[in-house]
A and B are shown apart, each in its own frame.
Chain A
Amino acid sequence: MNFTSTDLPRVRRLTVTWATRAGMSAEAADDFVIAVNEIATNAVRHGSPRASLRLWVNGGAGVAEIRDSGHWAAAAAPAPLPRRPAEQGGMGLEVARLVCDDLQIKATPAGTAVLLRMALR
């Protein structure tokens, strides 16, 4: 789905519904929603007003890809929790990294894509 900031509640609803159907436990689905929401928030706040979310299953895990046409992640990447909590994208990115099984950032001239993985039960 494509989304802007006003769609964030819909992003969360879609993600929790999808994650539950895909077979995540309730707790994993909650964490996955938190991670997707943080990255989606960074995307529309620091990246570009419009971003996209794709969800699929791969290798026993739920995968979310959040893609925008901005360049926020490079600035936010090395921001451990206690040091720079309020800087751009820092705390949200760290929280997403903490709750997911894997987080990958692909920063290209065309924009930023973040891949989140969460194991299915």
Chain B
Amino acid sequence: MLSLSSERRGPYTVVKVAGNLDLITRDQFDQFMTKARRDNSQVIIDMSAVTFMDTGCLAVIVGHWKKLLSGSGNLILAGAQYRPAKALWITGLADRLPLYDSVDEAVAGAEASTPPGSSPTVERP
């Protein structure tokens, strides 16, 4: 249903999310993100294999993003696909959260110290 893993990518922890982000998997996702955030203040979520995301899990992401920002860390979303992650666009949060097309671009872009929220490279089709 939901597969979570993390790996180190330079200064970043990349959390790879595969499957459904919904009420069933929300707590599992939240706990995994809490652990990732405690290990490292620079976190990238690889969303390229997300098959569905509801607003509850979007709220989880926003919560971790705010906590990381307040501790001078950052949370970046990479590879979010429009159809399965449409909640991002419907809510307008796609314009506020740092979004990159891929993990590679997120790592490169974040290294160029892009201000949070000013890099909406994922275009709405």
Let me know if A8 is at the binding interface, CB within 8 A. yes
Contact of B52 with A91 in the complex, beta carbons under 8 Å: no
Let me know if B55 is at the binding interface, CB within 8 A. yes
Contact of A92 with B55 in the complex, beta carbons under 8 Å: yes
CB distance from B87 to the nearest CB of A (A): 6
Please encode chain A, from 20 to 38, with 1 for each CB lying within 8 Å of some chain B CB and 0 for all others: 0000000000110010011
Let me know if A1 is at the binding interface, CB within 8 A. no
Let me know if B63 is at the binding interface, CB within 8 A. yes
Q: Is the interface of A mostly helix, strand, loop or mixed?
A: helix
Let me know if A59 is at the binding interface, CB within 8 A. no
Let me know if B70 is at the binding interface, CB within 8 A. no
Let me know if A99 is at the binding interface, CB within 8 A. yes
Contact of A85 with B23 in the complex, beta carbons under 8 Å: no
Let me know if A109 is at the binding interface, CB within 8 A. no
- Smallest CB-CB separation from B83: which chain A residue? A30
Contact of A81 with B92 in the complex, beta carbons under 8 Å: yes
A37–B25 CA distance with the chains assembled, in angstroms:
14
Contact of A38 with B55 in the complex, beta carbons under 8 Å: yes
Please encode chain A, from 75 to 104, with 1 for each CB lying within 8 Å of some chain B CB and 0 for all others: 000000100011000011001001100000
CB distance from B38 to the nearest CB of A (A): 21
* Chain A residues within 8 Å of B, Cβ to Cβ: 5-6, 8-9, 12, 30-31, 34, 37-38, 41, 44-45, 81, 85-86, 91-92, 95, 98-99
Give me the 5 closest cross-chain CB pairs, A-B, nearest first: A91-B55, A41-B23, A92-B55, A86-B59, A95-B90
19 A-B pairs with CB atoms under 8 Å apart are: A5-B24, A9-B1, A12-B52, A30-B83, A30-B86, A34-B54, A34-B87, A37-B52, A37-B54, A38-B55, A41-B23, A44-B23, A45-B23, A45-B56, A85-B59, A86-B62, A91-B59, A91-B91, A95-B91
